Amino acid sequence: MPMSLSLVGRLLFAPALLAASSAAAPAWASSTLDIKTVASSCANCHGPDGRSTTIIPSLAGRPQAALLEQLRAFASDNPPAGTTIMNRLVKGYQDADLQALAQYFSTLPSTPVSMAQGR
């Protein structure tokens, strides 16, 4: 007896649905921390929402992969030469937290929304 069409349809669409739902869930779900709260602690040095007005680099709107690469470098046994504080700061965070932070800051606008709107 041939498979019913509706069963074929379900088999075909099930993986697509799974993919869609995992894409919709925030990637920081795997971090056990409240990432927005953690990220607000970065503001002391990197500026509100990661937009710095000092010599410390901005984080907002930077590519997620680049931010994650830097955070992992700070967390490694050989942090980049010249690192002053970030190597100590990232200790205590798990890789899932670093991923979440990288994703969070990459999604923030690099220009304040009010400025972008000309207000």
Contact positions vs ligand HEC (CB under 6 A): 38, 41-42, 44-46, 56-57, 59, 67, 70-71, 83-86, 89, 101
Q: Output the smallest distance, CB 8 to ligand HEC, in A.
A: 47
9 or 69: CB nearest ligand HEC: 69
Contacts of 91 (CB under 8 A, 6+ apart): 75
Task: Let me know: does 116 contact 109? Beta carbons within 8 Å.
Answer: yes
Distances (CA, A) of 73 to 57, 77, 79, 88, 107: 16, 8, 5, 12, 21
15 or 92: CB nearest ligand HEC: 92
87 or 112: CB nearest ligand HEC: 87
